[in-house]
Amino acid sequence: MPARFPLLALAVALVAAPVRADETLVSPQQQAAFAEWLNLYRAEATARGLKPEWLDTALSDVKLVPRVIGADRNQPGGSAKPIRFPDYLASKFRGDRIPHGQRQFAANRDLLAQAEAASGVPAAVIAAIWGIETSYGRVLGRYDLPSALATLAFDGRRRDLFTRELDAAVQMVGEGRVAREAMKGSWAGAFGQTQFLPSSYLAYGRDGDGDGKVDLWGSQPDVFASIGHYLAKSGWQPGEAWGFRTLVPDGFDRSAVAAAEPPTRCVTPLSRHSALKPAREWRAAGFTPVNGSWPADDVVMSLIEPDGAGQGAYLVTRSYRAVLGYNCSNLYALSVTLLADAISLARAVASASAVAPVVAASSLQ
């Protein structure tokens, strides 16, 4: 942040200390620095084209929330806290994630089919995103979104990102798309049953029920249509399944299929992918599907071993990469696609105890 903030250095030093999960108090110094930042944000947002009355409405009662900063700095799976895929998958599939997902898939079959027809994305994949993101609409988050986004923009670790998202949230409220009091979501600024960020809502939100609004909190048609549209725009290939777990042939030379150029987007996850090669070449090399079947010979696939060579492998298509567009993490994308496979099974899972063999079958051990 520019040096024109005389109080910001003090505020950053204060919030840099570990933040307890139950901490709610804000020091006078922090509050003063936040108020100063908020005034500058309003001025700069107005210069970017946001209307003053939009800002007045959207930023009413905005507060600094220290626990948001603590949550942002203690996310699992980063370099400081690596997590192996079997452990991640077990955490995502615990409880009734699969059996409840199968019930929801059946109950919403017609609406999901409509979203699939409009987007080309399989109904089960749309349902799996819904399931992973919000446990099928049961966990939506209770943070005040403008406050959470303003806190993260003020804190500065990802200032540009959250400043853009705060701008988008102001636009949502200012244009009357969402009522100010309805702006509730996660500490990271995602909201609704899709867990879209505000910019994604503006870009990909779809009115699935024809009422002239996009309600991602309460309208299932809107939720499913928006997830499908997002994945379609992210590169899902109609008629092309995501891929499957595979057995790697003994002695396979991984260097022979290394990607020639480093990725330019979603860099760390895609760096774990091999070059894209036609399915026929992988089959000829001796790869064997474990939980799927081969696509057409000319469908390109890449090899991914999330935890390293010899610890479980997948061959994935361009459609899989569309799921990375939703959340740039191989652990996330594999969990979504494996959940989609599980909830679309013809025979319903009778109890949560059935999760264990599914996780075991997908394990990278």
- Collapsed DSSP state (helix, strand, coil) of residue 329: coil
* Tens-digit pLDDT string for the chain (365 aa): 343 333 333 333 333 433 343 345 788 889 999 999 999 999 999 999 999 999 999 999 999 999 999 888 876 544 556 789 999 999 999 999 999 999 999 999 999 999 999 999 999 999 999 999 999 999 999 999 999 999 999 998 899 999 999 999 999 999 999 999 999 999 999 999 999 999 999 999 999 999 999 999 999 999 999 999 999 999 999 999 999 999 999 999 999 999 999 999 999 999 999 999 999 999 999 999 998 999 999 999 999 999 999 999 999 999 999 999 999 999 999 999 999 999 998 444 433 333 444 444 444 33
Q: What is the 3-state secondary structure (H, E, C) of 148-192?
A: HHHHHHHHCCCHHHHHHHHHHHHHHHHCCCCCHHHCEECCCCCEC
Q: Please name each of the domains of the chain with its CATH number.
A: 8-75+141-191 (1.10.8.350), 83-137+234-365 (1.10.530.10)
Euclidean distance between CA atoms 225 and 206, whole angstroms: 6
Number of H-type helices and E-type strands within the chain? 17, 7
Which residues on neighbouring strands pair with residue 247, listed in sequence order? Answer: 288
Nearest Cα to Cα of residue 71 among 190, 168, 169: 190
One-letter amino acid for residue 335 of the chain: S
Task: Count CB neighbours of 34 within 10 A.
Answer: 23
Nearest of 111, 113, 121, 114 to residue 235 by alpha carbon: 121
Whole-number Å distance between alpha carbons of 177 and 288: 49
